[in-house]
Chains A and B, each alone.
Chain A
Amino acid sequence: MIQFVLLISRQGKVRLTKWYSPYSQKERTKVIRELSGVILARGPKLCNFVEWRGYKVVYKRYASLYFCMCIDQDDNELEVLEIIHHYVEILDRYFGSVCELDLIFNFHKAYYILDEILIAGELQESSKKTVARLIAAQDSLVETAKEQASSISNIIAQATK
C-alpha cells in the first residue's frame, strides 16, 4: 500500500502531497522536511529507493521535480516506479508536455488526476486512455455548469431576483 505521495521540487518546495494514512499536520511537515533532505541529497546514479522509518520511499526525478511514493516493506519497488511513470505520462498527456509551472498553477488538476489513478493507496486504473477520458468528462461537466451560470438567461434571473 502506498502510504503517501509527495511531489518536491529540486529547491525543496512541496508541489503536491497526498496522504493515504493519517498523519497530523505536524508529522506531515516533519516527514516532508526529513525526506526532502534525504532524497534531494542523493546522487543521480544511485538506486531510486530510500529506506525510511521501516518504510521504503521510491522516488524518481523528472526534470526539476521529484515524485516520491512511500510504500510498505514488502511492496514491489520496481512496480511503484512504473506507477510513478504512469502518473507522469498521464499528466504529460493532459497538460501537453507538462512542466513544473503547470502543476503549480493547476495543482488541483494534478490532484484530480491522481485521484483517478490511486484510491486508498492502491492502483485504480492501468489504462492511461481511460483516465484521460474520465478527467475530460468531469472537466466538461464543470464547463457546462459554468456556462449555465454565465448564460444570459441566468444573468437576467439573477438581476431580477
Chain B
Amino acid sequence: MNPFSSGTRLRDMIRAIRACKTAAEERAVVRKECAAIRAAINENDPDYRHRNLAKLMFIHMLGYPTHFGQMECLKSIASAGFPEKRIGYLGLMLLLDERQEVLMLVTNSLKQDLNHTNQYIVGLALCALGNICSAEMARDLAPEVERLLQFRDPNIRKKAALCSIRIIKKVPDLAENFINPTAALLKEKHHGVLITGIQLCTDLCKVSTEALEFYRKRSLEGLVKTLRDVVNSPYAPEYDIAGITDPFLHIRLLRLLRELGHGDAEASDRMNDILAQVATKTESNKNAGNAILYECVETIMSIEDNGGLRVLAINILGRFLSNRDNNIRYVALNMLMKAIAVDAQAVQRHRATILECVKDSDASIRKRALELVYLLVNENNVKPLTKELTEYLEVSDQEFKGDLTAKICSIVEKFSPEKIWYIDQMLKVLSEAGNFVKDEVWHALVVVISNASDLHGYTVRAFYRALQASAEQESLVRVAVWCIGEYGDMLVNNVGMLHIEEPITVTESDATDVVEVAIKSHNLDLTTKAMAMIALLKLSSRFPSCSERIKDIIVQHKGSLVLELQQRSIEFNSIIAKHQNIRSALVERMPVLDEATFSGRRAGSLPATVSSSSGASLNMPNGVAKPAAAPLMDLLDLSSDDAPAPSSSGGDFLQDLLGVDLSTASVPSGTNQAPKAGADVLLDLLSIGSSPVQSNLSTPDILSSSQDNKMPIATLDGLSSPPSVPVRSTSAGGAASMMDLLDGFVSNSPKPEDNGSAYPSVVAFESSSLRLTFNFSKAPGNPQATLIEATFTNLSPNVYTDFIFQAAVPKFLQLHLDPASNNTLPASGTGSVTQTLRVTNSQHGKKSLVMRIRIAYKLNNKDVLEEGQISNFPRGL
C-alpha cells in the first residue's frame, strides 16, 4: 500500500469523528485526515481517489474547508469508469457551486458524458448540470440537453426536462428552443416524464409569452384530458398516495392550467369542468388530498372569473380554516390573503375565525393571521377589530407584541373615524405595549393631540389615569409627561369635561408628583427625563403654588452626570429664578403642530428623495428654510428659486456684473466638459447664457478663436499665460476652482521688469477688430487701489454701436466701473471710447491683478461678442 495514502477507510474515519468528545478532538482528527488526503492528492494516486473524495464530502458537511479537493472531483469525472464518475459528480455538486471559476473546467467533460453510450453516465451528467450549471455552461450545453429531451430512455428524458428548467432560468433567451420539444413531453404516459415535462412547460410559460400562447392553443385540450384521466384513474399501487393516484401529477397539472387560464377567458372556460370535478371529488381527510385541493383553489382564484367555481373555492378555504390540523389552517390563511383581491366580502365572513387564529399558539399561524386581519380592516369594521386586537395585546407573547403593536398602530392611524377614538386606542396600546411602540407613532399621536383642541382636557386626564396604572411603559410616560406639561392646568381644573368622563380630583401637587416620579425613575431613558424636565418648567408657571417645589426638583439635577440634563437644569433654574417677567410667555403652550406638514414629512422621510426633503424644508412652519447640507440641494434651490440665491459665493459678483444666471450656466458647465479643452471655467460662465445668437454648441469655436487672437499678443508681451490649463469645473464648486485657476496663473506668469512705481501701459486685449489698452495710475497713500483707464479702439472699417464693456474679477479684488465716455465706437481707429476702472486689491503685494472681460457691441445691427482674460497686468498693482 502506498505509504502516503490515507490508510483509514471512510467508515473508520466517520467512527473516529463520532467518537470525539470535544470540538478540539474533532478538529484534530479532521486535520489529520485532511493532511493525509492532501498528500494523496499530491501523489496523484487514482486508487484511493474514490475514498478520499467521499471523506472530503463528509468533512465538508461538518463545515470544514475542502477547496483543495475541487480538482480531484474534476479528475474523477474525467476518468472512464462509472463508479469514479458517480462519486466525482456528487463531489462536484457538493463542494462547488455555480459561482466558482473551476466549474468552467468541467464543461468539456460534461459535454462528453452527455453524449456517452452508457445512459447512467448521461444521467449523472444531466443531474450535475441541472443542479449547478452557470449561465455560460447553460449556453454551451443547451443543444445537448435539447437533444436528450428525445432520448429513448424515459429516465433520461425526465432528467433532461428538469435540466432545461435550470437552463431557461439562467438564460431566458434560450426558452424558444425548448418550446417544441416540450410539447411532445406533455403527451407521454410515463409519469416521471409527464411531471417534469409539465413543470418545464410551466416555467417556459413564465418566461415567454410566445410559449404561453403556443401551449394555450396546442396543448390545453390534452392537459385537461390528462388531468381527467388521472383524477378518474383506478387504483395504481405504484403511484398511489392515500388513495389518490399521483398527487404530484395532479398538482403540477393544476399549476400549468393556472398559467394557461390566467388572463384568458376562453381557456379558463375550457378547464372549468375538470376544476369543479377536482374541487368536489377530492378526498380531504389526508394531506395529499388537501394539497391537491389547495392547488385547485389557487388555480380557481387565478383564472378568469367564474362565479360558481369561486364560491366552491371559498367554501373549501372555509372548511380548511375550521380544520384542526395546523398545517391546513396555515395554508387556508395564506390563500385567503390572495382571495381578498377576488372576493373581499366572502373573506370578511370568516373574520371571526381569522381573529381567533391571531391568538393561536403557533407563531407561523399568528403571523399569517395578523397579516390577513390587517388586509381585512376597513372603515366599517375597524372598531371591533381593533378592540379584539388590543385586548389580545394584553395576553400575547412578548416576541409577538412587536408585530402586533405595529399593525394595530398602523390600522388605527389609517382608519380612525374620529380623534377621540384614535387617542383612546393609542392610549390603550401605549399602556399595554408602550415599549414596543416606535418613535414616529407616538410623535404622530402628539401631533394629533395638539390639534384636537377640544380634547386637550380629556386627553391629559386620560393619560394621567393611565400613568397611575402602568408607569413602566416608556412611550406612555413620554406622551403623558408631555400632555401634563402642556395642559397641566386643564388637568387640575377639570377643564373641558366630556360627559363620558368621570370627574377626578387632581391637585397641583399630584400632577407635579407624577412628573417627579418620571424624572427620578431609574428605568426611564434620557429622552423621557429631558421631556419631564421641560414639563416641570412649564408647570412652574402653570402651578404657582408648586413653583418652589418644582424649582427644587430642577435644581437637584444641576449636578447630573448627563450633560443634557445638567444643562437643562441650570438653564431652567435661571429662568425660574431670574426671569419671572418673561417666564409665562416663554413656557406658553406649544403652537399647534401642523398635521399635514407632519404627515408629509413623515412620508418624505421614508424614501430619501431630494424633491420631498427639499419640499419639507420649504414648508417648515416657522418659515426658516432648513440649511441644506448637500451641495446638490443648494443647486436645486438655486434653480427653483426665481430670486438670485444669496448664499452662492462665487455666483454673486458674476451675476451682478454680467447678469449671468449662474444656476443655469453652471449646470451645463458640468456636463460640457469634453469640448472645453482650451477653455476654463470663467470663460465658460461668461459665454453660456449670454446673447441669444450664441448657442451652446458654438461656444467652443468662439472661445478658440478669441484665444487664437490673444496668443500672439501674450507672446509679444513676454507673458505667456498658459491658455489651456485644464480645469475641472464641478457645478457646485465653480467659485473655488476659479480661484485655483487664477492662483495658477499668478504662479505661472514670468516676472516682468519692474520699473518702480511707474507702470507701463499694456495692450490688454486685441482682436482683429478691437484693441483695448490699459493705462495705470495709483493714488498716493493707498497702495491697494489702482486707477485703470481703458481705451478701446475700433480696428475695423465699420462703426460699432451699443458698445458695452464688462469685467469680472476674483474675490480678492474689488472692481468699480465708471460709465464709458460713449457707447458708439467710430470706425478704423478714428476715435476711441474710454472708461475708468477702479480696482482695489485686498491681497496687495501677494497677488497680481487678473480680470475677465467681455465686450459686446452691434455691428450692422448684429450682436457681436468678444471675450478674453487679462493676466498681463504689471506686477505690484
Chain A positions near chain B (C-beta within 8 angstroms): 14-20, 22-25, 29, 43, 45-51, 76-79, 81-83, 86, 104-105, 107-108, 111-112, 115, 119-120, 122-130, 134, 137-138, 141-142, 145-146
Contact = CB atoms under 8 A, between A and B. Distances in A.
Contacts of B327: 47-49, 77-78, 81
A127 to B, nearest CB: 5
Given A79-B295, A111-B90, A123 B83 contact: no
B131 A22 contact: no
Interface stretch (B157-165, B568-576, B726-734): B157-165
B248 A123 contact: yes
When A and B form their complex, which 6 residue pairs have the shortest distance between CB atoms, in order from nearest? A78-B291, A47-B326, A119-B162, A119-B130, A120-B166, A120-B130
A122 B165 contact: yes
A82 B246 CA distance: 11
Contact of A46 (B247, B288, B291, B364): B364
Nearest to A20: B131
A108 B87 contact: yes
Contacts of A79: 247-248, 251, 291, 295
26 contacts: A22-B99, A23-B97, A24-B99, A43-B361, A46-B364, A47-B329, A50-B364, A51-B367, A76-B251, A76-B291, A76-B294, A86-B248, A112-B90, A122-B196, A123-B199, A124-B158, A125-B158, A126-B195, A126-B239, A126-B248, A128-B238, A129-B238, A130-B155, A138-B86, A138-B120, A142-B86
A124 B362 contact: no
Nearest to B288: A82
Contact of A108 (B54, B126, B155, B199): B54
Interface stretch (B58-66, B109-117, B380-388, B836-844): B58-66
A127 B364 contact: no
Contacts of A134: 123, 155
Given A48-B327, A111-B90, A146-B83, A126 B287 contact: no
Contacts of A86: 241, 248
Given A47-B330, A78-B287, A120 B61 contact: no
A112 B239 CA distance: 21
Interface range for B: 35 or more
B289 to A, nearest CB: 9
A18 B241 CA distance: 25
A130 B82 contact: no
Given A46-B361, A78-B290, A120-B162, A14 B62 contact: yes
A56 B248 CA distance: 19
Given A14-B61, A76-B251, A124-B195, 14 more contacts: A16-B61, A19-B97, A47-B329, A49-B364, A51-B367, A78-B287, A82-B291, A105-B14, A119-B162, A120-B131, A120-B165, A126-B192, A127-B238, A129-B238
A24 B63 CA distance: 12
A108 B159 contact: no
B660 interface: no
B81 interface: yes
B127 A115 contact: yes
B63 A29 contact: yes
A70 to B, nearest CB: 14
Contacts of B123: 134
B196 to A, nearest CB: 6
Contacts of A130: 155, 192, 238
Interface in B221-256: 238-239, 241, 246-249, 251-252
A107 B362 contact: no
A104 B11 CA distance: 9
B98 interface: yes
B332 to A, nearest CB: 11
Contacts of B849: none
Given A29-B63, A47-B329, A108 B361 contact: no
B331 to A, nearest CB: 6
Contacts of B362: 45-47
A61 to B, nearest CB: 13
B61 A82 contact: no
B57 A107 contact: yes
Contacts of B152: none
Given A79-B295, A82-B291, A126 B196 contact: no
B364 A124 contact: no
Contacts of B62: 14
A24 B251 CA distance: 32
Given A22-B99, A49-B327, A141-B83, A124 B295 contact: no
B645 interface: no
